[in-house]
Amino acid sequence: MNTFLLAAALLLLLVLLRLWWTLWRQPPAERQVEIDANKALYQERAAEIERQFKAGEIAADDKAILDAENARRLLAEADQSHAAANTHSKRNTILVLAMALLLPLLAGVLYSQIGAYREVQHWQNLNAADMQHGESNMRDALLLLRTRLHQDPDDVEGWYMLGRSYMSLNRPQEAMQAFANAYRIDRQEPDYVVAYAQSMRMADPEGSLEQVDRLLAEALHLQPEHEGARILSAYRALERGEYQQAINSFRWLRERHQQDSSATQAIDQLIAEAEQKLKAETAPANTSEPAATANAIEVRVELAPELQEKLPRAGRVFVYAKAEQGPPMPLAVAVVEPSSLPTTVTLSDQNAMNPAFKLSDHQRVQLIARVSASGKVEPAAGDLQGDSQAFDWRQAPKQTLVINRSL
């Protein structure tokens, strides 16, 4: 506030000096019409500034600056219009001295009564308290947003925006509460589900992991290619020591960001880290007997002879298992090139899309192999596909799947 008052006093002093100089020099009669016109423009501008201030379009300190600038403009026009200085008159002297005394007093009284003195002081007190955090503007916005949400608690976008604001301020506990409200209102929007999971993971790093995994599974069920969900799932796989699953997820992300060199470099580092940990984990096992494969399905994928001519040169082949009863989201997925057919792939928990929804949690599954010319996960007309009957995969872990029809 001291800074503001000092600036206002200096501006007022400048205006007084200029007014003093203008009144001291009497303009000739033939220029009086021009001066009157300038005064009318000054009054119109002053009224406009006052209207903008009352409407909340400008702040109090901006109003003071604009008033001073308006006065300076008037005086500049007066300087161009005045004639040579006339003899100083006693009346002008008295008038100038009276203005020098009364104008600051009058301005202070009016500003304290009808201006924004208290608001400016309150704002500057808040600003000084928050300056060490550099978050005063954000806090004002949060206060406004919380007030709006108090009036309309079902504003899902408002809760989501509030949560993101808290996350930017590194306040995950409050962010989690905001995202929880967004999730409560709309559980079909994957962005809300992922944001809720992320804030929960940050707010309670040790006690909420199972719920975080469940939320990520929900998000991937709603949108299997949601990048946020895939990224968090990959990190959760690293935390659980499921390095192969993390590697698969990071490779999927790398393929999506091939054009972004900085992103691919960061993902490559994560893949290298996961591979190094995987090697360190499996190194002792390599000196003993080979690991058993009873918890995996070995699938031989073949293409029917009548579809050989329809096999695209580019694209991808998706081979996956899904539960006989349950959501359509795959339990395990393998991806190969069309040119590799026929080929053999292995489906297990290591290539699950989400740790909370994996092959070992289900007994009976169905196998599907689909050739996608576009390379997209979603089925499209012209794709080639083969399906199996549901079976107990632990009783029959080796299967042959023939791609024999066109969608």
Predicted confidence at residue 294, as pLDDT, reads 56
**Structural contact between residues 193 and 185, judged by C-beta atoms closer than 8 angstroms:** no
Helix, strand or coil for residue 179? helix
Q: What is the pTM of this model?
A: 0.43
Burial 55-86 (b: 16+ CB within 10 A, else e): eeebebbebbbbbbebbeebbebbeebbeeee
Give the residue with greater pLDDT, 328 vs 229.
229
Indicate the DSSP class of residue 155: -
Burial class (CB in 10 A: 0-12, 13-18, 19+), 285: exposed
Predicted confidence at residue 351, as pLDDT, reads 83
Confidence of residue 21 (pLDDT cuts 50, 70, 90): low
H helix intervals, 186-288 = 190-203, 209-222, 227-240, 243-256, 261-286
Give the residue with greater pLDDT, 262 vs 314.
314
Q: Count of CB atoms within 10 A of residue 10's CB?
A: 11
Contacts of 264 (CB under 8 A, 6+ apart): 254, 257, 258
User: What is the per-residue pLDDT across 353-399, written as a single tens digit (0 to 9) for each?
Assistant: 777 778 888 889 999 999 998 888 788 888 999 999 999 999 989 99
Distance from C-alpha of 245 to C-alpha of 185, rounded to nearest angstrom = 32
Predicted confidence at residue 191, as pLDDT, reads 93
Give the residue with greater pLDDT, 344 vs 63.
344
* DSSP per-residue codes, 81-141: H--S-----HHHHHHHHHHHHHHHHHHHHHHHHHSSHHHHHHHHHHHHHHTTTT-HHHHHH
Residue whose C-alpha is closest to residue 379's, from 316, 323, 337, 313: 316
Predicted confidence at residue 291, as pLDDT, reads 46
User: What is the per-residue pLDDT across 206-264, written as a single tens digit (0 to 9) for each?
Assistant: 667 888 888 988 998 898 888 888 888 888 888 888 888 888 888 888 888 877 777 78
Predicted confidence at residue 128, as pLDDT, reads 55
Place of tokens 């080796």: 398
Listed ranges 149-153, 233-237, 294-298; the one with the highest mean pLDDT: 149-153
Predicted confidence at residue 61, as pLDDT, reads 64
The answer, yes or no, to whether residue 133 has pLDDT greater than 70, is: no
Q: Is the peptide bond before 172 cis (omega within 30 degrees of 0)?
A: no
Q: Count of CB atoms within 10 A of residue 143's CB?
A: 11
Confidence of residue 110 (pLDDT cuts 50, 70, 90): very low
Residue ranges of domains in the chain, CATH in brackets: 2-119 (no CATH), 139-286 (1.25.40.10), 296-406 (2.60.40)
- Determine what percent of the chain falls in helix, strand and coil, rounding each to the nearest 5: 60, 15, 25
Rounded to 10°, the helix 2-24/60-81 angle is 20
User: What is the per-residue pLDDT across 57-97, written as a single tens digit (0 to 9) for each?
Assistant: 776 667 666 766 766 565 555 555 554 444 444 555 555 55
Residue whose C-alpha is closest to residue 222's, from 253, 256, 193: 193
Give the HSE-up count for residue 366: Cα atoms under 13 Å, Cβ half-sphere.
14
Q: What is the mean pLDDT of the chain?
A: 76
> Out of 100-104, 113-117, 277-281, 299-303, which region has the weakest mean confidence (pLDDT)?
113-117
Contacts of 80 (CB under 8 A, 6+ apart): none
Phi and psi (nearest 5°) for 275? -65, -40
Give the residue with greater pLDDT, 344 vs 287.
344
Rounded to 10°, the helix 117-130/136-151 angle is 110
Predicted confidence at residue 32, as pLDDT, reads 58
**Structural contact between residues 349 and 360, judged by C-beta atoms closer than 8 angstroms:** yes
Contacts of 98 (CB under 8 A, 6+ apart): none
**Structural contact between residues 165 and 141, judged by C-beta atoms closer than 8 angstroms:** yes
**Residue 123 is encoded by which pair of tokens?**
């704002």
Listed ranges 11-15, 89-93, 142-146, 230-234; the one with the highest mean pLDDT: 230-234
Give the HSE-up count for residue 277: Cα atoms under 13 Å, Cβ half-sphere.
16
Cα-Cα-Cα-Cα torsion 98, 99, 102, 106, nearest 10 degrees, comes to 160
Predicted confidence at residue 193, as pLDDT, reads 92
> Out of 45-59, 221-235, 330-344, which region has the weakest mean confidence (pLDDT)?
45-59
The answer, yes or no, to whether residue 20 has pLDDT greater than 80, is: no
